[in-house]
Each structure stands twice: as structure tokens, then as C-alpha cells.
Structure 1
Amino acid sequence: MAISIVATSLALTGSLGAAQAADLVWEVENPFRFFKRTSAFDLHDRAYKAVRGAAQDPVPGNIVWRTERRLNDPDCRDPSTLTSCAATAGRNYERSRLGWAAQTLDLNCYDRNARPRRYPATCDRQYSWGTAKEDTILPDAHTVIVRLAPEQLATADGECTWTWRPRRAGPPGETVRQSCKSPFVIKRLPFSTNRSVSGASVSVRLPDGREFADPNVIVEDVLVVAMGDSFASGESNPDRPVVFSAGREMVYDPVNTRDDVATRSMRMPTYGVASAPENTNPKSLPKRLLEDEEKGLVYRPTSPEFQAAFDKRGAQWLSADCHRSQYGYPFRVGIQLSLENRHRAVSFVSLACSGSDTVEGLFGPREPREQTTGPNAQKTVVPQLDQLTELMCRPGAPRSRDATYTLPVYSHGSTSISSQTFTKFWCPPESRKRPIDLVLLSIGGNDVGFGALVAYGITESAADLAPIAGLVGHTLRFEPNVARVYLDVLDRRMKALKDALTDGFGVDPSTVLHNAYEPVQFDETGRVCGLQPTLGLDVHPKLNFSSARVQQVSDFTRELQARQECIADARKRPGCPRLATGNGTGFRFVTEHTAMFARRGVCARDPQRALLDQINMVVPRLSLKIDDFQPYSPAATLPYGKRWRLIHSPNDAFLTANTHREGISPFDVMQPAYAALYSGAFHPTAEGHAIVADAVVRHAREIVDRRAVVDAR
């Protein structure tokens, strides 16, 4: 009687003996538990298998990137330019152009229609056999598919008798007689965080009397939690990007709201802005493809019909309040962990939210990114630590473990530092559903004013963004010297976060992967942006790179990474100052991915075709001479197609997420700047997130495999 044993555990423990060829093979169905339907996971599984290589070979170091390219490369015969790709489009061009996440946006365990948006306590997950209601954090069972190994299946004809028995007392098992060629489905294989009573023993009797068994069909369920800011949320990569009209433009000027202008012609006179391309109107930009155009109508710009149609065709996010999308690197890490070990399931929660810092976002509430007005408005985003508490505590568990945390606080733009105390009510350890196995963390950039530093590098003065600053209610631009004041107290904020994760959830600091920020400021030669001041910025005439200011910001970002390394482990870096974190938080600070971005920043062109790439970095506008967009049609943009730059420019952001400020006219002259900067400019592309995930998953494997070894022993 041959016994199959999880090869990973064998290889790691050594004490369990040499691995045997398994006569029975099994895998978890839909193991990434964020997805409701098996079809959503299978989309990734097919792409992974297509690029994986031989099963006996090590998993390629860039496997997430390979999978991303397989999923998101557009279906066209000639992808050399946007125009040629559209002209040679294949049958699946439109679907592939919009990216894989558009296909799974409504097939997951997240309630994006709730207010506040949230992970449900339980999720109805659909399998090949039917539907099961599962706890989002702690499943009581998994669906497992068992087969005869290929060498045994080749000689097995007729019907086999399958039997499975739970390893813990109570639940009944099952005996099924079916064709030997058909997989045996265990609909609800019991799961427990106590491995000794988890899973089942499985056996099969073949028609010729042979028997095979595996007494240890045990699913390794890993809980992964992601927290932090826009570099983890997936900002700039909506699950479903905006689709643009091939023939209509949107003129950002109040005069365009006059009915006589709007209904007679889409064209407007030039406004004489010096930086505008010849024969184009700088206030004229691509327009979302709205239902009136599809119906051969023109909605009056001031009408409720126009506003409703405009809102309806906005970018779609997994969570619009946080600009959180499935392209965020934490999702890709979770998916990859479940793809490469099919005896593993991944329970996954990402709470990362754009704009978050340690105070406003983790410990305290923050403003939503969008959809703050109207009947479906959400006024605040619940603190991420509170959201996690709600998910991790057993229903009805007391929240008596109150603790206080004092953090330095300041108003962005001011160098005056004060303190604020937060009280958190944790449930006691015995009332937590389970331990957290892995935390993926991105935090610190907004604490030191990342957005204001970017604005400093691309504008001449604060006055250029004054109307935007008035809209969002805080300083949008300041120099690195201000950020250095905030950097000096970052360690106190990080100590509070470490203490909260330990007190509230029992998180072992060594299981926290704190991500370094990807450099965004370099061109293809490794120089800071500014040699071509408006490259990627011509969506608005007030935006331009200053090499000197960008260099100042670049120097500060090196200081930020050095300080974050000290905060994580002061013993690994010489010259660390005395910090509130002492020898360090114990978090693992991940930096390997940053080298991949060193020549592929926001202004980087493909070195092999620099001129062509530069043309494609221009925002398209309708020519005043010919009835067509130049230099390409906005309807042909490839938001998730392969490109050299791994960071979205303001032009890219406008053409991908196209976020407009609510509560003012969509034609307001400041909307293009808002749409460019608040749609995720200076953040990684989907491809960039995949590259980050490849670096992070190497550390994640080590952590979860170490835990698996401990459990097996």
C-alpha cells in the first residue's frame, strides 16, 4: 500500500524520510479563498502552467511577472504600437485590453456595494459540486480533488471504490464508487488550525484488487493580511479601467456647459497656451465613452443624464474608497502562494488604502478616495487595525483588552509636532479566530509626505496647484526639509504599529514583510527625470519636471529607505541613530525589487525604441486640422500592456483611472490636473506590482514553509 506525503514538507523536515512517488495525487479546488468561483482562480492557473516550465524544475524567480504578461498581453498580431495593435486586433482584443482583473471583479469575497465597504464575515464560495458558506478568516473545510497518479491511472479500467475518513472524531466520512478515470471530489475536507485533527485519510480500491491510500490529506491553510498605503493597494491600476471614445473629446472649460456650444460642435477654439502641441487645444482631452454616443445622442453637459452617464463609465475598483485593486502586489503574492503548492489554501485579506499613513489609515480613520457624495456616499474609511479586529475576533467575543498608543502627529506642511493617543479594544488571544501567518506591509511614504514631495518635483510653485489644494483641504506641496522633520519621528509611529500588531493579533514581527518603496524618479539612463520637462506630463500645462527639484526629492528618498532599514533592524546598517524601535521592529524589510525600477521610472523610455516610446507617452488630443486623435486614438490605449516604464505618469493615470473630483462640474478647468494626480500617477503599473510580488514572494515562501515544518513536526 503506497502512501503519498506532501513533498514540500518532506524536503523541508528531512526527518520524515525520503519522498516516495505518490500513487494518489490531490489538490485544493480554488485555493485562493478570496475568489468566490473556481473559474477566477483557473484563469491564473492556466496562465501559470503555461509559463511555469517543467514541474521538476525550480519555480522561476520572475514567475509572477511571467504570469502577468501571459494574462495581460493584448490579443493582436502587431503589438509594436498602440495603433498597429488595434488595427490587427484578435477576437479577444477588447477583453485582454481591459486586463484580467476586469473578469474577476465581481467574483470575489469582498462587498464593494456595502457602506462602509468591507470583507464579509462569511462568503458563499462556489465549487464544481455546489456552494459552501465559509468564514472569510477561518474555514472549517476545503474542497479537495483526488486522482490516481498517471502511472496508476494508465492501468486502471472500470470503477474504483473511494473512501475518505476524517482524522478527527465527529464528522462522517464517505464511500463512493465511480469510474477510475474520474477525479474523486471530497466536498468538505475538514480543516483545523490543529494539524493533528485536520484533514482526512483517503483510500481507493481498484477493480483488480490493488489498494492505495494516503492517511494525511491535510490542507495547509495560510492567513495572509496586507496593510498600508497606495503602494500596496494597487493605486493607478483599477480592476476595470476607463474606456475612451474614439471620436469625441472633452473640453475642460466652463463655456462647454452652455447648451448652444455643447450641441452644435465638439470643437472649441485654441486657448493659446504656450506648451500646447501645435494644432491642438490644451483644454481638450479624451472623453469617456458614454452611453449617449453609443445611442447616437448628445447629452447636455448640464443635464442629470450626462452626469449619471459620466459616473457610470468611471473606472471600477475592488474598493473605490481606497483605490484598492486586485493588481496590488499583495494579491499577487497570495495568488502565487496558492498556485505553486496545490496542497495549500490561502485565506487573504488586504486592507491597504491609498493615502493612508500610520495615523490616518492604520490607527485612525481617513477620507475615502472617491464616492464621498450622493446616495451611496461613504464619508470615512474605518481604521485598518479596527477592520482587522472585526474580522479576527470570534462573534460575540469581548473587546476588553484595551490598550493605548501615543503617536506623533502633525499637519502636513507644518513642522510643529504634537502627540495623539489612540485607544484600541482588542479581543483576548483565546477569542481570536486564528493566528496571522504573514503580514504584507507598505507604510511610511505618506507619513513623510510622498504626495507633496512629488508635487514639489513637477510644479514651479504651490500656486500651480492652489485650486486642487483648496478642493482636498490640505497642503499639496512642500520641500524635502519639511519631510525630514516627519522622518525624524517615523520610528515612534512604527513602534506603535509593531506594538499594536503584537497586542491585538499576536503577530510575530518576523512574519511581517515591510516593503521598500520602488524608485519612481529615474529615466532609462538612470538619471532623474527632467531632461525632457513635460514627458508624460502634458495632460496639464502647469506640470513639468525640474531636474534640480527632482534630485532633491531623490536624495530624500534614499534617506527614507536608510531610515526604514534602521527602524526594521538597526544592527544591519551602520550609522543608525538612536530610535524608539531600539534594535528594530523585527519586521523584514524587503528591498530586492527596487533595483528593477532604477532605469524604468515615470519618465523612462524603451532604450531600443526611445522615439516611438516617447510618442506613445503623449496624451492624445483631437487635431484641429484632421478629424482624428493624434498621435494615437485614446480608444486604443493598453492600460496593462507591456511597456518599459514601470511607473505610471500623470498622462497614464488620466488614461487609466480618470478620477474626477466630485461636487464640482466635470468640465472644471482643474479636473484634468486632479484626474492626472489623483488617479495614481507616480505609482507602479500592474507589471510593476508583479515584479514587486516576485521579490516579496521569496520571503513569503520562507515564512509559510517554516510554519508548515513546525506544524508537520
Structure 2
Amino acid sequence: MFRLRLFLLLLTVGLAAGEAFAQPRIEWEIANRFRLFKQEKQFRKLAEVFAALPAEDRKERPAFAFEDAMQRAAAKGTLGRAFGDRVSIARYGWTSAVTRETCFENGNHGHWKCKLDTGDQFMEPRVADVLARIADLPPALAGQSCRWVAAELTVVAPCATEVRLARRAFDKPFDITVTAANAPVAETRSVRLRHVAIVGFGDSFSSGEGNPDKPVELVDDSPSSYQASSSTNGRPRNYPRRLGGDHQRLGHPYARAIWLNSQCHRSLYSQHVRATLILALAHRDLAVTLTPYSCTGAEVQAGILGYYAARDDEESFYDASPQLMRYWRDYCSSRVGYSRFNNRGRGFDWQSELRDCKERARLKPDAVLLSVGGNDIGFSSVIAEEVVAKGDYGPFTEMLYELWLSQVATKTFDEARQAVRDLIPNRIGELSDAFRRHLDLPSSAIIQTGYPQITRSGGGSSVCQPSDAGMDVHRILAISKDDTGREAATFVPFLNQNIAAAVAALPEGRRWRFVDSHVERFAGHALCTAGAPADAPDRQISGAMQFPTYVGFKKPHHFLWEPFAPSEWRAYRPRNRWFVTPNDAFLTGHYMRVAPIGRGRTPYPPQDKVQPLLAATLGGSFHPNASGHSAIADATIPVLREVLKLPQP
């Protein structure tokens, strides 16, 4: 013992004299910094992948580089036991192992009931476990035992191992000291665990539409004809079948796509999840609580402030309540008045009926992420006008419009521009009023993202040309007009500029931040962009624009498809396009329904001719894919850091 103390003394003297040994120091981090994930072991693997990224990537494009690295790791099967079966993860992507281990619980329609493995309530963050280690440990201490003291907590462990300092309180500074044989080894003063709460509101461009956490399971055998609803080269189209699907049912329940929230098509691939996850990965002293509420199809009035059913055929845990009501269900200490999930056709005035919370919960938001405006002006109606063929498909087209748009009218670009002028200023103003009344944070802490370019295929004036590339899932879908690509490329900045102007026109003190630095980054990654990076796994399949076509079989139970079999599709491999095509939507989300639309209508059988179109359009086509969401998140992260007063890398 005397020799050890003497060694430490000589070591200290040697260091002071500039010897080769570095001074031992304590490194520490919060163990699970993204509290939406209940499983610490899964976050630890994510942190390992993020830490291995090149420093330039972590600085300039952290979300995009992280997503690329995670999907490559999933393809190689190197994510480990925390992510379960490696074959399943390789096929479905890494979030398929995480989505059922989060603090969003359908059963209680929110996050408020969840408890983390530390015993901490999700909506009442008080403590977190800290992992600590000694960096530059002197060789003489490698086999010795060290005593760690953190406030009232004492841990004794081998000096060379990482220790867990359990249940350390947020925002209560404490010191950490390490000794060996009663001699000091290292210390760090005023350790402080930070916590931030971030709320996500918005539409399908922030819910993650088109990117289910676990894609559908399609099989190669017994392809379905759907009553020969489409044709290729004059032959009836045979479509891939969901596992267990036949003329009586859509398929096994476990074979359908799985979402964080199936009614809203809310996904862990969304830009809001990605931006906040990167904050948690990059800042080791910061724990992040994200409560996402975005919902596909949402508008300001129908969705954020008013009732909106989204996928109205969702039977389990149905919830059509406004996003602001869902917010109070989590952030108010009493849920009385916030658990009316269905308005049953009655009108709803948020100003008089959305009650103010009398007793706010301990947790308050530090920032709000927002994406809204596209549905308010009917952008999906413009897409339908541009990519759905008319002609001799009259009744069939009308059926699609009614299911896709809940209407039979489409909009031209000129009509959409007029809708932008007429509606956007008032909708932004109304939303500002609601946020001022219901959100306990400054407007400058609200960050809205603009909509990305969808048809700009390259630099300059390059745009997507007339083609059915990525849309040959059905003969009714294609870019058929010469000016569609150009019109879309000019409409997107027009919409963004008008949203930004409406925000800037708000009274002083009520203006929020508008981010659009990502918009033109999508040039060259448009809806029509084929191919994948040369080193991407399964690049020939993931970069393909053709829909798989059934061409027969060589022998029984050996079915042939071109250019690839449906079971070989990998939804989240790196690819050049950053949007979900109709082909992608069919193969990934495969949204189908048997429930009728409106009263007095008959159900749609599993083999009805409309089902392939529902799978191709309501499955999230024309939305950003996982890479696109990551690119938007990268534009959001620096602004979010500024709002939260976090250091930039």
C-alpha cells in the first residue's frame, strides 16, 4: 500500500515536470439520454455508432450520416443482441426493434403513464443514471480497486472499468472524486445533468408518413391479381401478397406495417425524432424528452387545433383529438377534459372548448418543432392532379380521389397558389394565437421547417421529366405533363416563402423561427432519381425504380419476379432518392383497408381493384423517406441548439 501511494506521489511530480504520462481524468455521460426509448441497451448501441462517425460528419450532417451508418450496420447484422434477430433487422431496418420499446403507449393514448427502467416517470424527469470512467489511467492502477464518490453515493470497482452512478438528480450539481488506497486519482467539480423537453406538432411531413418503423411483410408465392385491376405490356398485373393474405383477409396482423402510432402514421424515422435523437447522442450531459404529436393529413384547423381522424379505419386505440389536446393530456397534471378521443361529428371551437390547464405538470417544453401548411392549401390535391391519369378511368379515378383526398376535386398549381395567398396568413395567425395561449414558452423557441424540393432532379433547371419511373405499380399513375416537374420546382419555394412571410408578419414577440436551408439540398435526390451509392448494400434493388413484375415459375413453389422478388425489398437501404415513390409505398407501407368510406357504402374486399392504389398512394408516396427526414433534421439541429443554448460542434 505504501508503494502504491509513493507511486501516485511520484506520478504527480512527474506530470508536473512534463513526463510522458497524461493526467488521469474523469469522463462521464448520462446513460440513456433519449428518454423516448425505454431500453438503455438500445440507446447505448446508437451512441456507439454515432461516436464512430467521422468528426466532420458529426458536425456537418450528423442525422444523415447516423441514419446511413445504422442501416449499413443493420444490413451487416452488427447491431447486436439489443436489437434482436439480426435477419429480421437486416430486412426491416433498425427501428423495427425499437418501436414497441418506446414511451408512447397506444393503450393510454399518450406518454404520461410510461416509466423508464430507472424508475423515473417519463413526464416527470427527476433522475438519470450516469456512466463514468477514468481516462488516461496510469498502468499501475489497471489492476487496482477505485473508490468513486458522487454526493451521497459511493461505488467501489476496478479502476479500469466503467462504473454506474445511479439515479443522479437533474440540475443539482455534484462533485465526483476517485481515490485508490486513500490517495486521490481524479476529480471533477460541479457535474450537472441537463434535461430538455421538446414537443413535435404538424403534418405528414413531420409524422414520418411513408416510413413505417417495421415495413410490411410481403411474400413471393401465390401473387394476387386484384381482379386484374392494372396491366403491363397488355398482361394483367399480378401483385405481391402480404403474408397470410387471400380473398378473405388482407394478411396476418403481425405482417402489416407497424408504426409508432398507426392512426397518424407517426414514425421513429420522422424529422422530429431524428433532430432530437442527434441532440441526445451528441451532448453527453443532456437528456431529451420528446413528445411527438404530428399526424398525417393534419392542418392547422383540422389536426392541430381541431379534431381530425387521419386513418379513420384504425380500430385499436382510436384517437381523433386535436394535437393540442394530446399535448395537454401529457403536460397537464389532470387529464380531465383532455381524453375525448372522438368528437362524433360535432363541431369544435378550440378557443371556447379547449380548456386551459389549471394545474400544469412539473415538465414544461423548452422547444417546439413544427411542420404545417401543405395540407391547408391542398397540396395532395395538386399531386393527384399531376400524377393520376384521367381519360377512360373515370369512376376508378373518382374512387381513388375519394379515398385519397376525401374529395373528388383536384387542384392545379395556379389554384394552389391562390389558396396559399388566401389561407396561409390566417392559418399561421390562428396557430400563433393558440400557441400563445397554450404553450408556456417564448415564440422564438418554436421552429418550423419548410417543405423540400420534390422534383428538382439536379442543378440549375433540371427537373423530373414525364415518366412512370417509380410509379409503374399501376397504369393510372405517372408524371404525364411536360411542365409538372418545373411547376413543382417553382411552387415549393413559393409556398415556403409565403409561410415565412406569414410568420414574419406576426406581432413582435409572437414570431417563431422558419428553417428552409434544407430545401434545395434535395436537388439531385428527387422523386424520379434512380440508383444508390456504389458501396450501398443491395444497391441494385434499393436503387431500382421498377415495380416487381411476376413472370411465372420454373417449378412448383419457385415463383419468378423481375427485376427483383418482393421479399428482397429493403425499405431503408441507402439510396439516391430522398422521397417515397408509389412503388416504394406499396412495398413498404402497403396501407390497405376494408372499411367503407361514408355511410351506406359497401366494404372494400381484400381483392378489390382499388387496393393496389391505396397501397401505392395512402402508403406515403411523395413524402420524404428516411434519408430525406435526416436531411431536414440536419437543417433543424443548429437552430435547435441555438434555442436550447447548447454549444455548436
Q: TM-score range by the shorter chain?
A: 0.7 to 0.9
CA offsets 1:338-358 (integer angstroms, 9 cap, x no match)? 111111111111111111010
Q: What is the one-letter code of the residue matched to 2:495?
A: L
Q: Establish whether residue 669 from structure 1 lines up as the match of residue 609 from structure 2.
A: yes
The partner residue of 2:261 within 302, 310, 319 is 319
1:244 & 1:37 partners in 2: Cα distance?
29
Identity level (%): 24
- Residue 702 of structure 1: CA displacement? 1.9
Decide which of 121, 125, 149 is 1:139's aligned counterpart.
125
CA distance change for structure 1 residues 344 and 39 in 2, over 3 Å: closer, same or farther? same
Match of 1:439 among 351, 368, 390: 368
Aligned equivalent of 1:383: 322
Counterpart of 1:345 in 2: which secondary structure?
strand
1:227-277 CA deviation, whole Å, 9 max, x = no partner? 101111111010000122123311111xxxxxxxxxxxxxxxx78x6xx43
Name the aligned partner's letter for residue 454 of structure 1: I
2:518 alignment partner AA: H
Residue of structure 1 in register with 2:491 after alignment: 556
Tell me if 1:337 matches 2:279.
yes
**Aligned letter for 1:559?**
F
In structure 1, runs of 5+ residues without a counterpart are 1-19, 78-90, 127-131, 166-172, 254-269, 291-298, 400-410, 412-418, 570-578, 709-713
Pair 1:475–1:74, CA change in 2 (3 A) = farther
Alignment-derived partner of residue 568 in structure 2: 636
- Tell whether the 8 Å contact from 2:137 to 2:160 is kept in structure 1 after alignment: no
Aligned 1:10-409 pairs, distance under 5 A = 23-53=25-55, 59-73=58-72, 92=86, 94-112=88-106, 114=107, 117-119=109-111, 121-126=112-117, 132-151=118-137, 155=141, 157-165=143-151, 173-191=152-170, 195=171, 198-207=172-181, 209-210=183-184, 212-253=186-227, 276-278=231-233, 280-282=235-237, 284-290=238-244, 301-302=247-248, 306-307=249-250, 309-369=251-311, 371-373=313-315, 376=316, 378=318, 380-395=319-334
* Offset of residue 540 of structure 1: 1.4
**2-side partners of 1:39 and 1:607: how far apart?**
31
Counterpart of 1:484 in structure 2 is: 417
The 1:144/1:474 distance shift into structure 2, 3 A limit, reads same
Change beyond 3 A, Cα 1:471–1:52: same
Deviation string, structure 1 residues 406-447 (Cα, Å, up to 9, x no partner): xxxxx9xxxxxxx9855432225x734243212111111111
Q: Secondary structure at the match of 2:114?
A: strand
Amino acid at match of 2:645: D
Change (3 A) 1:361 1:607: closer
CA contact (8 A) 1:74 1:93 kept: no
Do the aligned partners of 2:450 and 2:519 also contact (CA within 8 Å) in 1?
yes
Give the corresponding residue for 1:679. 619
Q: What TM-score do the two structures reach when normalised by structure 2?
A: 0.83
Q: What is the one-letter code of the residue matched to 2:577? A: R
Once the two structures are superposed, residues 470-520 of structure 1 have per-residue CA deviations (whole angstroms, 9 ceiling, x without a partner) of 446424522234333432221222122223222212221111111010111
Letter in 2 for 1:163: V
Please say if residues 464 and 526 of structure 2, whose CA atoms lie closer than 8 Å, have aligned partners that are also in contact: no
| Match for residue 427 of structure 1 among 339, 342, 357 | 357
Q: Measured at CA, do residues 474 and 148 of structure 1 come closer, stay the same or move farther in structure 2, by a change above 3 Å? A: same
Q: What SS class does the counterpart of residue 457 from structure 2 fall into?
A: coil
Aligned counterparts of 1:104 and 1:177: Cα–Cα separation in 2: 33
Q: Which amino acid aligns with 1:622?
A: Y
Distance in 2 (CA, whole Å) between partners of 1:699 and 1:211 is: 39
Offset at 1:395?
4.0
Which letter does structure 1 place at the counterpart of 2:492? T
Q: Which blocks of at least 5 consecutive residues in structure 2 are unaligned?
A: 1-21, 77-84, 339-346, 596-603
Q: Alignment length, in residue pairs? A: 589
Tell me, what secondary structure is at the counterpart of 1:394?
coil
| 1:455 is the counterpart of 2:396 | no
- 1:280–1:622 CA distance, 2 compared to 1 (3 A): farther
What is the one-letter code of the residue matched to 1:140? R
Residue 599 of structure 1 corresponds to which residue in structure 2?
A: 524
CA distance in 2, matches of 1:700, 1:425: 29
Aligned residue for 1:123, secondary structure, equals coil
- How much has 1:680 moved relative to structure 2? 0.4
8 Å CA contact 1:615–1:631 kept in 2: the answer is: no
Instruction: Using the TM superposition, name which of 514-523 and 144-153 deviates more.
Output: 144-153
Matched-pair contact (CA < 8 Å) for 2:197–2:365 = yes
Which of residues 566, 573, 579 in structure 2 aligns to 1:647? 579
- Output the CA distance in 2 between the equivalents of 1:624 and 1:536: 23
Which letter maps to 1:184? V
Q: Is the 8 A contact 2:193 2:286 kept in 1?
A: yes
Q: d(CA) in 2 for partners of 1:65 and 1:450?
A: 26
Distance (Å, rounded) in 2 between the aligned partners of 1:512 and 1:377? 29
Change (3 A) 1:524 1:555: closer
Deviation (angstroms), 1:678: 0.4
CA positional deviation for 1:674 = 1.2
- Please report how far the alpha carbon of residue 365 of structure 1 lies from its aligned counterpart in structure 2 after TM superposition: 1.3
Residue pair 2:370, 2:447 contacting (<8 A) in 1 also: yes
Taking the aligned partners of 2:493 and 2:120, their CA distance within structure 1 comes to: 45
CA drift at 1:32? 0.5
Shift of 1:621: 1.7
In 2, are the aligned partners of 1:468 and 1:670 still within 8 Å (CA)? Answer: yes
Residue of structure 2 in register with 1:534 after alignment: 468
User: What TM-score, normalized by structure 1, do the two folds share?
Assistant: 0.76
The runs of at least 4 consecutive aligned structure 1 residues that moved more than 6 Å come to 74-77, 396-399, 611-615
CA contact (8 A) 2:205 2:623 kept: yes
Report the CA distance between 1:201 and its aligned residue: 2.6
Instruction: Measure the CA separation in 2 of the matches of 1:36 and 1:207.
Output: 38
Distance 1:526 1:40, change over 3 A: farther
Per-residue CA deviation, residues 96-137 of structure 1 (Å, 9 max, x unaligned), is: 23111001121111113x16x322x242322xxxxx332323
What's the offset of the Cα at 1:300? Answer: 5.9
Corresponding residue SS for 2:101: coil
